[in-house]
């Protein structure tokens, strides 16, 4: 991923995972620095669940704050089982972040 871009990141779950426990309002995708300092958490309108994937939409302002080299990402979600609210998460994932030569936020003309 490049800084100052607007990527859609797709995280794919195993085919045997019950995707019905994930909804845009109970699913949180957190991005952090390598030393686990939270940068941004995305939920609701910033994510989409399609098939066995969670898609996350990032804007220029967000990717501008990502440190060059790499960041970490993890998905957390809440669900109810037997009348009890529970929480689960994925493993922490590594994402490579590359510099962008043009350092300004741009818009379509």
Please report which confidence band the pLDDT of residue 108 belongs to, taking 50, 70 and 90 as the band edges: confident
Task: Give 62's contacts (C-beta < 8 A, 6+ positions apart).
Answer: 31, 39, 40
Whether the pLDDT of residue 103 is over 70: the answer is yes
Task: Give 94's contacts (C-beta < 8 A, 6+ positions apart).
Answer: 70, 71, 72, 73
Q: How large is the C-alpha radius of gyration of the chain? A: 15
The answer to whether residues 102 and 82 touch, using CB atoms and an 8 Å cutoff, is: no
Give the C-alpha separation, 64 to 80, whole Å: 36
Give the C-alpha separation, 62 to 94, whole Å: 17
Quick one: how far is CA 97 from the chain centroid? 14
Reported pTM: 0.94
**Mean per-residue pLDDT, 82-108:** 96
The answer to whether residues 76 and 87 touch, using CB atoms and an 8 Å cutoff, is: yes
**Mean per-residue pLDDT, 73-102:** 97
Tens-digit pLDDT profile for residues 26-60? 999 999 999 999 999 999 999 999 999 999 999 99
What pLDDT is recorded for position 109? 61
The CATH number of the domain covering residues in 8-95? 2.60.40
**Mean per-residue pLDDT, 65-79:** 97
What pLDDT is recorded for position 106? 96
Task: Give 55's contacts (C-beta < 8 A, 6+ positions apart).
Answer: 8, 9, 10, 11, 47, 48, 49
């Amino acid at each position: 991923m490049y800084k100052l871009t607007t990527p859609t990141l797709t995280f794919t779950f195993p085919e045997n995972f019950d995707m019905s426990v994930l909804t845009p309002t109970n699913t949180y995708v957190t991005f952090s620095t390598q030393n686990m300092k939270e940068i941004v958490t995305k939920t609701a309108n910033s994510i989409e669940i399609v098939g066995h994937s969670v898609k996350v939409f990032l804007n220029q302002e967000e990717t501008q704050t990502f440190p060059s080299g790499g960041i970490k990402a993890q998905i957390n979600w809440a669900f109810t089982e037997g009348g009890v609210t529970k929480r689960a998460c994925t493993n922490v994932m590594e994402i490579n972040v590359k510099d962008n030569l043009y350092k300004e936020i741009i818009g379509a003309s």
